[in-house]
Chains A and B, each alone.
Chain A
Amino acid sequence: MLNKIIGFSVKNKLIIGLFVLALIGWGAFEVTRLPIDAVPDITDNQVQVITVSPSLGAPDVERLITFPVEQACSNIPGLKQIRSFSRFGLSLVTIVFSDETDVYWARQQISERLQQVQQEIPAGVGAPAMAPVTTGLGEIYQYVVRPLPGYEGKYGPMELRTLQDWVVRRQLLGTPGVADVSSFGGQLKQYEIAVKPGQLKANNIAIADVFDALEKNNQNTGGAYIEKGPTVLYIRSEGLTKSIADIEKIVVKNLDNGMPVLIRDVATVQLGAATRYGAMCFNDKGEVAGAVVMMLKGENSSAVIKRVKEKVADIQKSLPEGVVIEPFLDRTKMVNNAIKTVETNLIEGALIVVFVLVFFLGNLRAGLIVSSVIPLSMLFAVILMNKFGVGGNLMSLGAIDFGLIVDGTVIVVEAILHRFSHSRHFRNTRMVDQTIMDAEVNASTGTMIKSAVFSQIIILIVYIPILSLQGIEGKMFKPMAFTVAFAILGAFLLSVTYVPMMSALFLSKKISHKPSLADRIMIWLERKYQPALTRMMQFPKAMIAGTLVLFAIAMVMLGRMGGEFIPELEEGDFAVETRLLTGSNLNTTIQATQQCAAILLKKFPEVEKVVTKIGSAEIPTDPMPLEASDMMVILKDKKDWTSARSFDELSEKMSSELAVVPGVSVGFQFPVQMRFNELMTGARQDVVCKIFGEDLDSLAHYANRLG
């Protein structure tokens, strides 16, 4: 049957040509639609349930909130694991589902159960809510809102946070593909009625009274409408407090002598800040506000980032003068790095393949024909990738070896050429016409096609085990297997249709029997090879023994070799996890990290900027305590570095420099990698030993011994 197809292709060259053109067009279109990211998304399917309870301590949070939530959600079908985290003021329950579970369905299930749980949780303690639908790769764009130099006095943390919440975030939220924008740092503005207890006592008023008074004095109402002649007049009252002055004038209590006690008599009304659990600093210039833009699960990151950037440019215009939105962690940088690597690899690989082909075949046209299969099969692969939802990233595109894909084609073309130059048929001819060419191409392809088919099938088969991988390694390598499989399929189809057609059409009809350079080299090689082979054939036992010995050595080496999961991807920037002593307060942490930032900026010219995120964000998907912070050290391009050559070296040097800051311990990682680790295992380190048990004190004791 294959032979029939080959014959058909060779005869009807125009039809095949049209097909190929259609392929090119369609493929090019699909390329623009291909979702491209740096790495495949390896976070598992999870939903986080966050409950903020600012006044409860850790044991209470665990008892009152975490435990009921865990219990309620523990019987959802498809559940793989439940992890939770209870801290002062915060409960975070991470529910991990199997990959096949639809995350929206899972959220629905959880939402139902959360409604029931709400009744079990005592009133006023907190309301569990689900975190946005995002993944480990979802933090695509992180920015700070900071004052330009000279305007620092005008815009303090409170103003910046207000701008961030009410101007920037609000406008960003509408962007398609954005799941949420989580504000960070700054000071959340509040109207604070700071009560003076001395005054209260003097007037015999309790705080509860103040409370009640405020509640009662802050409402609007409506009075429906009255008719004024032909028109209708709507009545409404404005009782909402609008300013500090309004609040100050509220009556708390009426004294016995008829004098009203106003709020301003017993309290100072001012702008205050909510008790904060997180802060953000820019370089060593103090506090700023900022946010993390989280992408919806499954979206195309480059498309979303593009939209976000456009939006940010718009928003910048609506900000007052002296305030600027400055992104510090932008996924495009990482994607571009990775894609550049991919591009370089692909292009260089393709060039080398072309060169080698031309060299070996000794025939420029034949080499070009085979090489042309490369982009065509890639286009074919991209079409199928889009159809099957396989994303383009470092793993799927970067590991494609064209040599592998065009192996089948090579065999076919090589056979055709061989036949012409070596076969007895053509020993005396100098030129052939088209019909003979067609027939010859048909025949040679036909003979080789079985081997070619088998070779392609075998390469396909060896990629099948990769498809069986699950979990993280599955997410990493399955795209690669799919892409290669598609490319091979494309190459195969092309080698039974396009290649014979092109060979018949474009290969030179002049048959030269003069050996070309490549031929001469081949002959030389043959001459060296044959006697060597004959000699070897006379020592069969020695050869077999030698081979077995080599094999044994290799096995031994394999056993001794260490194992690593997946080598680390260098993302281009550092995320430095900084920790102080437990129980340090926010100011201490801010001071210490500012010191660190100053050192880094001064001593390492490769550092572009340092943004420190202390504690938790507004949506605490990553709840760090007050003593912990992530220092995002944004670095320049690797080729501009002066202090070190590799990321390992640089991180070591930085570590030693930062050791001068007392009480601080640092750990260097990469941002996305850290996020992955944390999301998937609940910890940020490479290796984590978990000790399970009942009593917290015993656990602490064993943990210390282990360390």
Chain B
Amino acid sequence: MSTIANAGTHSVDHHGDHGHHHESFWTKYVFSQDHKMIAKQFLITGIIMAVVAMLLSILFRIQLAWPDKEFPILEVFLGKWAEGGRINPEFFLALVTIHGTIMVFFVLTAGLSGTFANLLIPYQLGARDMASPFMNMLSYWFFFVACIIMIASFFVESGPASAGWTIYPPLSAVPKAISGSATGMTLWLISMTLFIASQVLGGTNYISTVLNMRTKGMDLWKMPLTIWALFLTAIVGLLSFPVLVSAVVLLIFDRSFGTSFYLSDLVVQGQILPNEGGSPILFQHLFWFLGHPEVYIVLMPALGLTSEVISTNSRKPIFGYHAMVYSLIGITILSFIVWGHHMFVTGMNPFLGGVFMITTLIIAVPSAVKVFNYLATLWRGNIRFTPAMLFAIGMVSFFISGGLTGIYLGNSALDISLHDTYFVVAHFHLVMGSASIFGMLCGVYHWFPKLFGRMMNEKLGYLHFWLTFIGAYLVFFPMHFMGIDGVPRRYYAFTEFPFMEKWISVNVFVTWAAIVAAVGQLAFIWNFFSSIWSGKRATQNPWGSNTLEWTTPVEHIHGNWPGEIPTVYRWPYDYSKPGHHEDFIPQTVPFSETMSSNLPHDFEGNAEAERIQREWELANNNPQTEKETE
């Protein structure tokens, strides 16, 4: 936390240097303070981490599908973690833990928000850079070090953290409990502390930039929905991540200093631990006070990106712009008062459980508003099925199919039997995992020309989409049925239990689906990296978009716009406006240049402008607008 204050004052020295800037390799590509370069750094780091986490998931899927088979190759790579060619139980726990941690935090929080908030906030608002470029750079490097430490935990003797991505004590707090709670857990905690520092530094900057550095004419209600989503995400992060710091600090004291915040009455390996009087439930409260908002930190940027992409590629204004913003605000507020639904089975007072159930179910309202608005935007649109558009539609699909099961899980009575089963795994992998990663991929395909000045290959994009889309459904849909049957999550070899034996065939099926979907990602990796150097050169505005980032030159320059920062005159969704000769009108075009398509409400009650418009219409006898005004 203290870094904020330091950075806030430190960077004073750095802002005078627009224009006379000497860039060496180090300042341009490594310790860059340019928001575009930092966005690329976040994206590429995020992609690498995603690949790592995906490979981890394939490893534990192999164990689940073939619990009795030996794969000698695994021993070659993993050594003692896969003795005799079979993943050992402790390593299995480490795999699911680190898979979850990397995917939730490093890919879908930092990779998603970090990339697109850095890229789009200054671009779409018309700012030269972030409020504090120096803090922005620090944000990336904290994140990078956090990644290195998390990966490094695979190379310590006792292995990585294994208590699940939620690191509930006492398991995580007692180093002797399992091998993963030793050094690996310490590294996990250090890594996450750095990660939180990175998020807070980044988030402060995003909020401050949105509120202070918008260009002339860009009032809040002219901001694209991407910015609204990223802005509210940053607010959620700023309010919830510090709470995790508190939870983690107390956990560190319990682990390393012998305090008893979370620990009580424990016997580990025949020894009675000295800790007394602590409450592990306290940790769960603190953790989920972050943990649930975290779900929306992951999801909201994806909602923002898809809003933009769906509107652009339907060639229609987004349906219900204000409703979209208010539903994002609603989600932001509600996200803080639902955390108890993760804890229905902790012996919570049933009345309190009822309160959390109601708040949870209310979230369905803003979520449904968003879904219907997406569908209404697509309805009778002039749809262009670019790869980005497909991923955006896929995101809506997962948001619906995963969201519906949330209604079951949010119900405190049903949750008693569904808690910690594969039903939960299916639910959050669809609604949070798949939906958010589809939002992220949609963003990558759509803004690739802005990031790298080149286009990605469309055919590979389609191949990637269909393999991932079908793959994700084949992997996660069957898990619902397993969960209803009572199959618990995180179990190493649940098919050993007679009543769950029958699920072995489904496990094999899911694992094959996962492998095919994972191989499908090669289409993306190849497409992404080869297009950086040899993709087709992009034009300035390849998608016919209205937002400001497409008014910047293709070649990145320091300060984004060569001359003055453009002024904004209209909202970002003037697509297919009747009476205009093109099917889009960028935000920088004043109404005086589009007399043939102006509508009365465009002038927001400006009587003078309305009079000029009426006079013009009388003089030109324009049938289109006359019909509208009648």
| Binding partners A and B | no
- Which residues on A are within 8 Å of B, measured CB to CB? none
- Which residues on B are within 8 Å of A, measured CB to CB? none
